[in-house]
Amino acid sequence: MSGDLKSLIALEKVSLSFSGRAILSEVSFSVSRGEIVTLIGPNGAGKSTVMRIALGLQEPDKGQVRRAPGISIGYMPQKIIIEDILPISTRDFLMLRPGVTLAHVEAVMDLVRISHVGQSPVQRVSGGEMQRVLMARALLGEPDLIVLDEPVQGVDIAGQEELYQLIGKIRREKNCGVLMISHDLHMVMAGTDKVICLNRHICCSGAPENIQDHPEYHALLKGQPKGIALYTHNHDHTHDSQGNVVSGHKSGQSHKSGQSHKSGCRHD
C-alpha cells in the first residue's frame, strides 16, 4: 500500500494500548479516492479508536498514519451535545466550518434537506434531522475524505435508506473516499467496497460478499440469533454493480481483496 498514490489515508500497523491493555494491534488499511470502507465489529472492538487515530485525534503507540498531503477531511461525529446555554441556529452551526460561505451552507442544507430547520436552534432539531445536520457539516468544505461515525444510528429505516443513498451519491459525484463505522454488525451500506471486521485487530476484511462467509466473521456472531449474516443495505436497484452483492452469496468463495487473517484472535 505504501506506494499507492490514490490512497487518501493509510494506517500502517497501528497499535495502541491503554495502561498495558491492548486496544488495537497492528491495524492496517487504507481508503482510496471513490472508495467506501466500512468498519464493523462488536462493542469495545476499537472502531471509534481506529477512527480517532485516522482523524489525527489520537496518536498511536506504534505504527504510522499517512494522509495524502493537503487533503480536506469532513467529519461526522457520532453524537454531539450542544448546551442550551449557547444560542445557535442550525445555519450558524454549519457556518462554523472554516472557509465556507453562506451560499455554500445553504446549498448543502438543501442537498441534505434540512433547509426548513436552518433558523431553528440546533438543540431543537429532531434526532434524524440532527444526523443530517452533522452530515451537512461533514460535506462542507469540499472534503476529499468523509469520515462518518455511525451515520444512521437512531434513524428509522426510510431515513437510513435516504442517508445511505446520499452518501453513495456524493461519493459518485465528488469521487471522495468514505470511511464509516456501522452501528450494526449485520449491516453495511450497499456500495461498500471494503468491509473491515475489527475486534482489536483486523479479523478479516474484503468485499461484503466475501466477509459474510468468513469463519472469523461468524465467530464474532457467536451467541447471536441464527440465520443472521452480513446484510448489505440494498436500496438502489438502478446501480447493479452494487445491487447484486446480496444475491452473490457463494459459499467457499476465496478471499479476493481481503487481508489474510492472523491467528490468535480473542473473541470475547
Piece of the chain touching other proteins by CB under 8 A; list 20-28, 84-92, 161-169, 171-179:
84-92
Q: What is the smallest separation between the CB atom of 49 and other proteins, expressed in angstroms?
A: 13
Query: Contacts with other proteins in 111-130 (CB under 8 A)?
Result: 121
User: Can you give the three-state secondary structure of 142-174, one letter per residue?
Assistant: CCCEEEEECCCCCCCHHHHHHHHHHHHHHHHHH
| Neighbouring-strand partners of residue 188 | 232
Q: Closer to other proteins at the Cβ: 65 or 246?
A: 65
User: Out of 59, 64, 86, 249, which residue is the one contacting other proteins (CB under 8 A)?
Assistant: 86
Q: Interface with other proteins includes 217 (CB under 8 A)?
A: no
Which one of 5, 85, 103, 158 is in contact with other proteins (CB under 8 A)?
Answer: 85
> CB-wise, 56 or 127, nearer to other proteins?
56
Of the candidate residues 97, 132, 171, 194, the single one contacting other proteins (CB under 8 A): 97
3-class DSSP state of 55: helix
> Is the distance from CB of 197 to CB of 217 less than 8 angstroms?
yes
For the CB of residue 237, give the shortest distance to other proteins in the complex, in Å.
Answer: 35
String of contacts with other proteins for each residue 241-260, x by CB under 8 A = --------------------
**Binder among 3, 20, 98, 264 for other proteins (CB under 8 A):** 98
Which backbone phi and psi does 138 adopt, to 5 degrees?
Answer: -70, -30
Question: What whole-number distance in Å separates Cα of residue 145 and Cα of residue 191?
Answer: 16
Select 13 or 116, whichever has its Cβ closest to other proteins.
Answer: 116
State which residue, 1 or 80, has the beta carbon closest to other proteins.
80
Whose Cβ is closer to other proteins: residue 57's or residue 157's? 57
Nearer to other proteins, 136 or 211 (CB): 136
The answer to whether 200 touches 46, Cβ cutoff 8 Å, is yes
User: According to the binding rule CB under 8 A, does residue 154 interact with other proteins?
Assistant: no
Q: How far is the CB of 50 from other proteins (least distance, A)?
A: 15
User: Between residues 138 and 220, which has the closer beta carbon with respect to other proteins?
Assistant: 138
Can you list the alpha helix ranges (DSSP code H) found in the chain? Answer: 47-55, 90-95, 102-111, 127-139, 157-174, 208-211, 215-220, 240-243
3-state SS, one letter per residue, for 103-156? HHHHHHHHHCCCHHHCCCEHHHCCHHHHHHHHHHHHHCCCCCEEEEECCCCCCC
When asked if residue 75 is in the footprint of other proteins (CB under 8 A), the reply is: yes
CA–CA dist 78, 73 (Å, integer): 16
Q: To which residue does cell 506506494 refer? A: 3
Residue 55 CB, nearest approach to other proteins (Å): 5
Nearest CA-CA partner of 221 in 250, 246, 185, 197: 185
Q: Bridge partners of 24?
A: 16
Binding site residues, other proteins, CB under 8 A:
52, 55-57, 73, 75, 77, 80, 82-83, 85-89, 92-93, 96-98, 121, 137, 141, 147
